[in-house]
Amino acid sequence: MIKAGIIGATGYAGGELVRLLLGHKDVEIKWFGSRSYIDKKYYEVYQNMFQIVDAVCMDDNMEELADQVDVIFTATPQGLCASLIREEILKKVKIIDLSADFRIKDVKVYEKWYGIEHKAPQYIDEAVYGLCEINREDIKKARIVANPGCYTTCSILTLYPLVKEGLIDTDTIIIDAKSGTSGAGRGAKVNNLFCEVNENMKAYGVASHRHTPEIEEQLGYAGNCEITLNFTPHLVPMNRGILATAYAKLLRKPDGSLPSYEEVRAAYDKYYKEEKFVRVLDKGVCPETKWVEGSNYVDVNFVIDERTGRVIAMGALDNLVKGAAGQAVQNMNLVFGLEESEGLKLVPMFP
């Protein structure tokens, strides 16, 4: 039985981690960490856990925690994991960090986009970017897994086959993405109040959203080139879900024709046909957030626009599951040699 500890267990992603790990046959949660609710019963924070979890919330003492568990999940704001991690800790446990502390390989880029000093740059190169469908073998050997962001997971998996197979001009990529309000976290913020969000849609972080360099870096590895793209997120009045719509110019073949639907579809099938959690939809079916809600699935598809010579690629996922906690559990399964889908065999909820 794997013993797990969660730092940040009372945030939305942390709460989802608890829900998923409680249903995992090989895991026991030993530590429910939360600075905001120390000594408070976990079910008093999340009433859905009444008579399910009787544990009391603990602090974020990673050194003490490392003596009690095999894996630590850090579902915390940027900077905390990096400030706590030590070699003595890494000799004892695996770390799966849901923040951005170890996602970006260039510390200067991280510090520029996140506006904070990185406290553990010595571990950046070692950390493995935890997008399971792309870095599976490296994840299995990792001590530190940098769990990807929700927007990034959706955007990268939506575009990856197109970039990897050289089907698009990477200088023309534009990503338009929408997210439910849980993506902003559980903290009290005026912009997230019901009256601010309901009956409204808005763009935010325009030309400045901090997931941009993460998407650029990972797609750059896929295309073996430097990528600069436009990424614009939008907030929509729903609890969960991300929908990413990406646009790019298709590269024409030597005879001047565009790649056919069958050729583009073959690229998606090449990378995702054997993937449990990436579903390439039937021709003409667009991904929708309601068909992935509560699950670890990502639905992707594309349409070729013959008139403009562009491909329109689309992806949908649940930002709290595949975009956060579900992916973290998937990473844990890989690290500990378990069946990758264990604890994640969740049928999407509807309605």
- Longest CA span, the chain: 69
Type of residue at 133:
E
* CA 234 – CA 232 distance, rounded (Å): 7
Q: Give the active site residue among 57, 81, 132, 150.
A: 150
Q: Which of 18, 20, 14 is nearest to 36 (CA)?
A: 14
DSSP code of 57? P
- At 13 the three-state DSSP class reads helix
CB hemisphere CA count around 33 (13 angstroms):
22
Residues 101, 78: contact at Cβ < 8 Å?
yes
81 is catalytic: no
- What does the block give as tokens for 27? 């895991």
* CA 341 – CA 275 distance, rounded (Å): 10
Q: Which of 217, 11, 212, 10 is nearest to 131 (CA)?
A: 217
Catalytic positions, written as ranges: 150
